[in-house]
Amino acid sequence: MKDQYQKRVWVFRIIAILTVGWGSYYLFWRYTSTLNMQFLWLAIILILCETYSFFDTLLFVLMLWRPSNRTEPPPPIQASVDVYIVTYNEPVELLRLTVDAATRIDWKEKHVYILDDGSRSHIKALADEFHCGYITRGEEWDGKPRHAKAGNINNALLQTSGEFILILDADQIPASAIIRRAIGYMSNPKVAFVQTPQYFYNLPPGDPFGSDAPLFYGPIQTGKDGWNAATFCGSNAILRREALLQLGLSRFVHEMEDNMREKVMQLRHELRGFRMTSPLQKAAMTQLKSSLRAANKALDSGQSLEVVGEMARKAVVEAQQSIALKDFDQIASALEELGGQGDASALEARKYILENKSRLAARTAPSEPEAVGLSGEAYSGLTALQDGEAIPINSLSVVSITEDTATALRLHAMGWKSIFHGEILAYGLAPEDLGTAMRQRLRWAQGTIQVFMRENPLFVNGLTLAQKLLYFNMTYSYFGGFVNLTYMLVPMLYLFAQMSAISAWSWGFLLRLIPLLILNRVMFAYISKGLSAQRGEQYSISLFPIWIQAILSVVTGAKLSFEVTPKQRQNGNYLRLIWPQLTVMILAAAAIFYGLYSLAYGINPNPVGIFINIFWCVYNILLLSNIVRAAIYKPPSDWNPRPPEFLFPKST
């Protein structure tokens, strides 16, 4: 077993080194000898895309360089487990299967809860029927951001107490062994989560929508696991409550810190815009400014929030008192003059005031922040904690519509470990139509890019270099949308207009390119040996409009929302959804004909160039044809997928 693993890893490494080596050579040669100066803009676009692809390959190799080798899981530990079934609007029949199977999970100390964000009475009835807990949002959430699935789970975390939490989406029917097989890894107290695969029992024959992810729940997750960077997928995973709470607390402190920083900034900003109503305030303000600067510095140097808050508050009070001290100086000198006119009590008062100046200043100092040029809002903000959230502790990250990625990223950054256990222990539903499948992909892509924009993994402290790169790769790969579109358009430009990114369509070019393509194919074939990974690969390319849309929507700051993936086939005209792909296919077909025509009539006398580019156009048409098939796909009329029988043994 071990030898076989070693052999697999080393064969991959050799192929990978050859691929990367040849790729470097090819790219170097492309940069130095083949840029077409006549169409330099096009040459640069294409070479940038090829460079992108090269780094994509590098990251892929890194990911798979030292996969984990988990065979038999460690023996189970004794622990209490809360089973969360997370639902919003899924039909009760669907939920019934999951709840039924969850109550059959072979684990003594377990509590099953339905987390119903739809607060539906018939789901409550279902919970009662199976004697499980039923959790909805309380009044504290009224008018507050709900944070979709992450909010739902965070809400439940505060109401249950199991040491571990098994999270299941509404459609993920658990096998009875799910806890027993996965919880053993938790014997290592540093492990925060154990992720198991998602398996779909409703895949139509041939998996037209590319839902099956054997490559992801196989080599990719195993590879990431080897770097302690397994992806948390939001369902079919066991999480350690302690890790989630620690994460929530640390986020809480972070957010308070940010809050405090913002408030101190606001105070300082307000001071800048303040018009002095009396010259007395000037000195006080100068003092306040420097004190607030000190508070800001203290915050940067990791001083506790209480101390910093106190510093800022004290700075304001001192500024107010210094105004008061100057007021009393003024009063004293006025009293002196009055005394000079013969008012004895004025002199008496003056003497008394000068003797007790600081005490009096403390008692009568202007108490409002406005006196020193601050809004009450900014000042009171210093004492306030997090405003606006329903519950103070958000364990599952709420910064993104894909809460799982963001949560795992933070757990990894805190030094927690993750496990990918590759055994199928839950059976769920994949989208049954192209529209739903595409929306789901769009949401994943948007969420991942959103995490990247808010918390760029390359700059997150606490992650190892490999973790940073692998998290970075999750977003990087979506830029392939632009790259693949370019790869599709470039041959057409050549065939239609003889615009070429490459200076010479020569045999020398083919001699360098073809080995690279072959090596790439060999590497991919080796990795996906025995898996039906082809469909997924096709989709990663042919969904290019989705990836582009995802990037553009996040970059332009469009509002994104968490959307529950519908669990039933939706009817609709899906050809409309793939108009970009259809356009590319039609253009490519036209380009092929025009290329042949221009060869036959001597418009373009370069047969090598024409055939290479026709080859690419044909290749792209074939690749994209899968998504056309998916768009017009209708399941067989007797298609009625059922979850595996063994999940519901008759004996009970």
Interface ranges with another protein (CB under 8 A): 277-278, 280-281, 320, 323-324, 327-328, 330-331, 334-335, 337-338, 341, 343, 345-346, 348-349, 352-353, 360-361, 363-368, 370-372
Closer of 267 and 483 to another protein (Cβ)? 267
**Residue 387 vs residues 226, 246, 382: alpha-carbon distances, Å:** 40, 21, 11
- Round to whole Å and give the CA distance between 181 and 183: 6
Whether the Cβ atoms of residue 387 and residue 133 lie closer than 8 Å to each other: no
Q: What is the dihedral of CA 481, 396, 170, 197, to 10 degrees?
A: 60
- Contact between residue 271 and residue 292 where contact means Cβ atoms under 8 Å apart: yes
Helix (H) or strand (E) holding 200: strand 199-200
Burial class (CB in 10 A: 0-12, 13-18, 19+), 32: exposed
If the CB atoms of residues 346 and 419 are measured against another protein, the closer one turns out to be 346
The minimum distance between CB 55 and another protein, in angstroms, equals: 59
Q: To the nearest whole angstrom, how small is the minimum distance from the Cβ of residue 314 to another protein?
A: 18
Contact at 8 Å (CB) between 200 and 426?
Answer: no
To another protein, the closest distance from the beta carbon of 317 in angstroms equals: 13
Amino acid, single-letter form, for residue 491: P
Q: 161 or 364, CB closer to another protein?
A: 364
DSSP 417: E
By beta-carbon proximity to another protein, the closer residue of 320 and 407 is 320
Q: Give the nearer residue to another protein in terms of CB position, either 167 or 319.
A: 319
Nearer of residues 203 and 323 to another protein, judged by Cβ: 323
**Cβ distance 105 to 174 under 8 Å?**
yes
SS3 of residue 261 by DSSP: helix
Minimum CB separation from another protein for residue 277, in Å? 5
Q: Is 598 exposed, middle or buried (0-12, 13-18, 19+ CB in 10 A)?
A: middle
d(CA 308, CA 382): 9
Q: Which is nearer to another protein, 177 or 354 (CB)?
A: 354
State the minimum distance, in angstroms, from the CB of residue 373 to another protein: 9
Q: Which is nearer to another protein, 99 or 360 (CB)?
A: 360
Minimum CB separation of residue 370 from another protein in Å reads: 5
CB of 291 vs another protein, minimal distance in Å: 18
Nearer to another protein, 370 or 537 (CB): 370
For residue 271, the minimal CB distance to another protein (Å) is 14
- Residue 329 Cβ, how far from another protein at the closest point, in Å? 9
For residue 19, give every residue at least 6 positions away whose Cβ sits within 8 Å of its Cβ, in sequence order, or none. Answer: 57, 61, 516, 519, 520, 522, 523
DSSP state of 274: P
Nearer to another protein by Cβ, of 150 and 371: the residue is 371
Structure tokens at 461: 């402290």
In three state form, how does the secondary structure of 530-556 look? Answer: CCCCHHHHHHHHHCHHHHHHHHHHHHC
Rounded Cα distance between 478 and 550, Å, is 8
The answer for 39, left when phi > 0, alpha when psi is -120 to 50, beta otherwise, is beta
CB 353 within 8 A of CB 328: yes
Task: Spell out the residues 6+ positions from residue 7 whose beta carbon is closer than 8 angstroms to its own.
Answer: none
CB of 413 vs another protein, minimal distance in Å: 46
Least Å distance, CB 281 to another protein, is 7
Burial of 81 (0-12, 13-18, 19+ CB in 10 A): buried
**Beta carbon nearer to another protein, 353 or 504:** 353
Q: Token digits for 627?
A: 């998504």
Q: How far is the CB of 263 from another protein (least distance, A)?
A: 21
Nearer to another protein among residue 129 and residue 337 (C-beta): 337
